[in-house]
């Protein structure tokens, strides 16, 4: 079996000219692992705390959603549509639909797997006891999982497993965002933004039509004067709240919390859209399109350049074939970023077996691919489109 030996950044790598697997020496693996642990020492400690309390974060998110819905339907909507039962029923129905879509996609993002290697990749079966050519093309060994690691796969230190097309580990869902739950995660953000805008619009409409809101500034000023005269700052919120109607306080709570959630989710949604447009992720933010498509430290260009001086590669026809494959891969890398967003949109809309707006509006629990198990060559073929 032909081998292609390369040296990159003082690390010895051996790539099989037949199956394409890349193997590093034990010393190189240990050096990489020690450097990674040293570099991420403080970050790992922080994420261990996050991992310990991530389910508490999920409960807080669910509590915020429940509080906004309950206070809005119990106090804000009745005060806003007190003279119009039909408008109240329509607004209440819209609130329930938005709430159902937010909770549905939030739970799907939490409970669905982000997409492990075993779930998303199906290795080419051996033929007569031999591995097929290119079956492990550019596969590395994950040092933590001790399992094969195809291109585009990242190991999550929080979940302690490798995730396919991993964008980031989200503490708000207690799960990674990867190939399988990406669609539900995007849906959760979109529906949350729509729900918060809807809640803020109702609160602003109520503030505009109620004359008591016009006296709020005077009430605050008077309460502050009394609290200052009594030298008791704690008295100030008590005076304000005691002179406000219940729906008044509920509206204040809903508009403040909804605005904060809208800003937070909007920023996160803008980040994930940017990642889709630039073929990057939160764990792999490149400086160029070429680096965005490289999932491992040994690039295709470095493999080709170093392999030209390798006597093993020069003596082997299979090694020459492998070098040619890497040359083509390096050229295709430049075009990967430009077409990545189109490919992602096609994959997302095909999740329900069709295209168009209905594929996005219809709730779907689970993977964003029609068939999440893909052969090893599927990732490379998708980038060539």
- Residue pLDDT, tens place only, 102-127: 999 999 989 888 877 777 766 545 44
Lowest mean pLDDT among 31-45, 143-157, 288-302, 367-381: 288-302
Lowest mean pLDDT among 28-42, 158-172, 295-309: 295-309
**Stretch 294-320: mean pLDDT, rounded?**
40
> Which pLDDT does position 313 carry in this prediction?
35
pLDDT digits (tens, 9 = 90+) for 152-176: 788 887 777 888 878 788 888 888 8
Does position 46 have pLDDT exceeding 70, yes or no?
no
> Which pLDDT does position 354 carry in this prediction?
46
Q: Is 110 in contact with 61 (CB distance < 8 Å)? A: no
Does position 96 have pLDDT exceeding 90, yes or no?
yes
Does position 382 have pLDDT exceeding 50, yes or no?
no
DSSP-derived secondary structure for 109-162? HHHS---BHHHHB-PPPPBTTBPPTTTTTT-EE-TTT-SEE-TTEEEETTTTEE
CA distance 166 to 156: 8
For the chain, what is the mean pLDDT? 68
What confidence tier does 67 reach under pLDDT thresholds 50, 70, 90? very high
Specify the higher pLDDT residue, 294 or 146. Answer: 146
Smallest Cα–Cα separation from 188: which of 116, 239, 240, 112? 112
- Give the pTM: 0.67
- With residue 11 as reference, give the H or E element that holds it: strand 11-16
> Which pLDDT does position 158 carry in this prediction?
76
- With residue 163 as reference, give the H or E element that holds it: strand 161-164
> Which pLDDT does position 343 carry in this prediction?
53
Q: Is 159 in contact with 176 (CB distance < 8 Å)? A: yes
pLDDT digits (tens, 9 = 90+) for 202-244: 998 888 876 666 666 666 666 666 666 666 666 666 666 666 7
């Amino acid at each position: 079996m032909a081998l292609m030996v390369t040296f990159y950044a003082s690390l010895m790598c051996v790539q099989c000219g037949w199956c394409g697997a890349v193997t590093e020496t034990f010393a190189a693996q240990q050096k990489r692992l020690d450097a990674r642990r040293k570099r991420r020492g403080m970050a790992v400690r922080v994420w261990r705390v996050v991992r310990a309390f991530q389910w508490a974060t999920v409960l807080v998110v669910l509590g915020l959603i429940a509080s906004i819905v309950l206070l809005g339907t119990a106090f804000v909507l009745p005060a806003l549509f007190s003279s119009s039962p039909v408008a109240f029923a329509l607004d209440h129905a819209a609130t329930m639909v938005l709430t159902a879509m937010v909770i549905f996609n939030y739970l799907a993002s939490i409970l669905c797997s982000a997409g492990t290697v075993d779930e998303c990749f199906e290795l080419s079966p051996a033929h007569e006891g031999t591995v097929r050519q290119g079956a492990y093309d550019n596969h590395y060994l994950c040092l933590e999982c001790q399992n094969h690691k195809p291109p585009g796969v990242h190991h999550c230190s929080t979940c302690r497993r490798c995730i396919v097309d991993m964008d980031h580990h989200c503490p708000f869902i207690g799960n990674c965002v990867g190939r399988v739950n990406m669609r539900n995660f995007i849906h959760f953000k979109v529906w949350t933004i729509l729900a918060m805008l809807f809640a803020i619009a109702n609160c602003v409409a109520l503030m505009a039509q109620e004359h008591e809101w016009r006296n709020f500034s005077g009430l605050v000023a008077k309460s502050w004067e009394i609290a200052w005269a009594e030298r008791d700052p704690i008295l100030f919120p008590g005076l304000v709240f005691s002179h406000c109607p219940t729906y008044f306080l509920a509206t204040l709570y809903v508009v403040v919390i909804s605005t904060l959630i809208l800003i937070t989710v909007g920023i996160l949604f803008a980040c994930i859209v940017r990642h889709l447009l630039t073929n990057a992720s939160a764990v792999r933010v490149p400086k160029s399109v070429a680096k965005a498509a490289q999932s491992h430290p040994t690039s295709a260009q470095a493999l080709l350049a170093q392999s030209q001086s390798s006597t093993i590669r020069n003596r082997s026809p299979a090694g020459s074939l492998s070098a040619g494959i890497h040359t083509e891969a390096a050229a295709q890398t430049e075009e990967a970023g430009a077409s990545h967003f189109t490919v992602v949109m096609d994959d997302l809309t095909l999740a329900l077996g069709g295209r168009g707006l209905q594929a996005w509006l219809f709730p779907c629990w689970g993977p964003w691919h029609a068939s999440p198990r893909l052969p090893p060559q599927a990732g490379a073929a998708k980038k060539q489109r």
